[in-house]
Amino acid sequence: MSRPRSAGVRPPTLQTLPEAIVRNTAIAGARTRSRIMAVVKADGYGHGAITVARAAIAAGARWLGTTDIAEASRLRAGGLTAPILTWLNPSGVDAESAAAGRIDVAVGSVDELHALIGQTSPTPVRIHVHVDTGMAREGCPEHEWDALFAGAQQGERQGKVRVVGLMGHLPSADHADPEANAPAVSRTHQARRAAQAAGLDVPLAHLAATSGTLTDPATHFGMVRFGAGLVGIDPSGTTELHGASRLTAPVVHCAAVAAGTPVGYDGAYVTDAPTHLCVLPVGYADGIPREISADAAVEIHGRRRRVVGRVSMDQTVVDTGADAVPLGTIATVFGPSDGATPTIHDWARWAGTIPHAIVTGIGPRVKRTFA
């Protein structure tokens, strides 16, 4: 089914709020003495990587983090000059592109290191040795550390790489429990000692992401990687951050219906009284979760209005009760908390997921703007 259209009606829009990113970065800065890396992977958690990066740098972040060299290169093309680290690089690392773009890369295995050293680049590639500190998901396992560090030291002598950092991950930081983080902290110290014993000078170590940044100074080392927190998400649930986006959609259809009216596919919801139903031109193809609880709602004219029936690919139905809502009226699907407006955390709860999935799931048909 195609989207209903009305002449002169504004399209569904996701607006990024840079001031909120500035405020969230400042909160992180107040929790740590270490430098801050603003992680803007997945297009800045769906908020626009360049916009998020600029706001974070303006607020004091000194590094940027991305998934791969392509993401980092787009930041460079956008005029950002801060150091950038990429640490997933699913398609591998092109040494020449990394060196030319002044882009650091993480190396988490002996094979990755050999593949990098085997390439030709005009200058050494800056690398962060990536060690497994307890997740068994990425990073070099402990029994291969000696081989990795020795290989990196040899690569430095050959002028192929320059080791500038050491990194790991906290497997349980969202629990906000320093005791749960202690094994990863200990492994990071152990890895630094092993690297130094192999003849490497590792000037910068980093372990903590958003939760560790906000809750456990022992995890901070020389830098923290603040990503989800930039856009208002604290996985630890300990800190009130500021929502950094607002998703709106216009009312494109409104009708009065009788009690007993089935709504949407299979009549999954049936009205229990005469009411008005409005249609918003967004659906699961645009990132509105299909499986949501009966509490799901949007804000219209300062009041929460329930989403009813099944979310369709292109449309969502809202019950506005006794109020007939004019076409073109703007509904706020989510935004910064103000009492009536649902937040991304509300939607995550209604959908049984995490807020990261809500903001990164907004589809390309939704217009992007910036406050």
Give the CB-side neighbour count of residue 218, counting CA atoms within 13 A: 16
**Residue 4: what pLDDT?**
47
Choose the CATH number for 244-370 among 3.40.50.300, 3.30.360.10, 3.40.50.2000, 2.40.37.10.
2.40.37.10
Choose the CATH number for 18-231 among 3.20.20.10, 3.40.605.10, 3.30.450.190, 3.30.420.40.
3.20.20.10
Tracing tokens 């995890």 back to the chain, one arrives at 219
Q: Please state the three-class secondary structure of 286-344 as a single string.
A: HCCCCCCCCCCEEEECCEEEEEECCCCCCCEEEEEECCCCCCCCEEEEECCCCCCCCCH
Give the CB-side neighbour count of residue 247, counting CA atoms within 13 A: 26
pTM of the model: 0.95
> Is 265 a catalytic site residue?
yes
Q: Which residues of the chain have pLDDT under 50?
A: 1-4
**Residue 9: what pLDDT?**
78
Binding positions for substrate are: 137, 313
Distance CA 279, CA 66 (A): 37
pLDDT digits 0-9 by tens, 79-115: 999 999 999 999 999 999 999 999 999 999 999 999 9
Beta bridge partners of 269: 263
Q: What residue spans in the chain does CATH classification 2.40.37.10 cover?
A: 244-370
CB 91 within 8 A of CB 65: no
Binding positions are: 137, 313
CB 75 within 8 A of CB 84: yes
Amino acid at 228: A
CB 15 within 8 A of CB 284: no
Distance CA 73, CA 6 (A): 39
Provide the 8-state DSSP code for 129: E
**Residue 3: what pLDDT?**
45
Q: What residue spans in the chain does CATH classification 3.20.20.10 cover?
A: 18-231
| Selected catalytic residue, list 45, 160, 265, 367 | 265
| Selected catalytic residue, list 41, 45, 160, 284 | 41
